A and B are shown apart, each in its own frame.
Chain A
Amino acid sequence: MKDLSMEKLSGQYYDVLKELGNIGAGNATTALAQMLGGKVDMSVPQVKLLDFNVLGDTVGGEDVIMAGIYLQVEGDISGNMMFIQNKVSAAHLINKMMGGMFEIKDEEVEEHEFSEMECSAIKEVGNIITGAYLNALSSLTNLTIYPSVPQLAIDMAGALLSVPAVEFGLFADKILLVQTKFSDDVELDGFFILIPDMESYEKILTVLGVI
């Protein structure tokens, strides 16, 4: 299966990846609920195989400012993972985590520059969410997966997404995006992008008995 390419990840492969996305996002929601100490609902995640040029629009526009968490994955599989959410969602999570210590008001979010402490909170949320996602993948496949310490950048969606897009770009002209809507009292939009390298795709699909 050395000639496995993204274009061939259709049909059954795609369903498997979709299911992984579902389970991962489900786990992430549970983790989020535990952290926030409340009930968090999740809509059915949407898994999309997208062309690069529509990627920005899918997350709400290339120039929308978002918070992106990026980390490396090592172990039995290797690759990268990204979790991005818009500034409003990030601010809401910070407010929740800080227990109202420094409230960022909705009307101020646009202009607000996240402090070091707030950035650290976003990283922690990202860590928990991506960790839960990867745990689901790991227990499903019995593969050992270690995430690295996450890195955070707050910038235009297009600029953030260019990083995973380049990783996908090495072997494909499409990118696999998992969109999740979390909601407690407000709705939070988040997007996962998992980018195993091509060998790791083979490993995952082989373990799951697809190829």
Chain B
Amino acid sequence: MSNVIKVGMADLAVCSGEDAVTTLGLGSCIGIAIRDPATGIGGLVHIMLPDSTEIRNNSNRPKFADTGIEDLVNAIVKKGGNRSRLVAKIAGGAQMFGASGNANTIRVGERNAQASKKKLMQMRIPLLASDTGNTYGRTVIFYPKTGDYVIRSVGKPEKVI
């Protein structure tokens, strides 16, 4: 039996085999999916903000793109994934409402996407595909065995990247 593990906001999970990881209703947050294709070990982190160094209250590591990706990579390696083989896909980063929020949160979706890409590049993890931006929410399911990253949105056909 395969399980689908749910990842909440500012949360991460790792799985292998037939299991999958999912996060429901991504808005301006990003779901970063990373896996080792050879072992099929992978996981998902649901980040909310781009940069932990911009915020004083930054102890919740999966909340930020930079620390969240680091923690996910460490968790995958700990479970038996090979650090040098890791590849990534990202989805989310929508602008749910028009321009709003204070200086730290304006266009946060877009900045989340940029920060995630930058961190992956720094860690030399190839970004194979991404589906970010626009104005709608996304539910994502990641299958580390096949690498399929399934994206569902309201009133739109299902997409696999």
Contact = CB atoms under 8 A, between A and B. Distances in A.
Interface of A: 5, 52-56, 61-63, 65, 68, 70, 72, 78, 80, 113, 151, 153-163, 165-167, 169-173, 197
Contact of A162 (B48, B100, B102, B155): B48
A197 B154 CA distance: 31
A166 B49 contact: yes
B27 A159 contact: yes
Given A52-B9, A52-B10, A80-B101, A166 B28 contact: yes
A29 to B, nearest CB: 25
B63 interface: yes
Interface in B3-45: 8-11, 23-29
Given A62-B25, A171-B57, A160 B137 contact: yes
Nearest 5 CB-CB pairings of A with B: A158-B25, A159-B137, A53-B8, A162-B27, A156-B25
B155 to A, nearest CB: 7
Contacts of A153: 96-97, 135
Interface residues of B, number: 36
A197 B103 CA distance: 12
B30 to A, nearest CB: 10
A13 B7 CA distance: 31
B24 A156 contact: yes
A5 B57 CA distance: 9
B130 interface: no
B65 interface: no
Contacts of A62: 23-25, 139
B102 A169 contact: no
Given A166-B101, A170-B104, 6 more contacts: A158-B9, A159-B136, A163-B96, A167-B101, A169-B63, A171-B56
B55 interface: yes
A55 B136 contact: no
Interface in B71-129: 94, 96-98, 100-102, 104-105, 108
A56 B97 contact: no
Contacts of B57: 5, 170-173
Nearest to A63: B24
Contacts of B60: 173
Given A173-B60, A197-B102, A161 B27 contact: yes
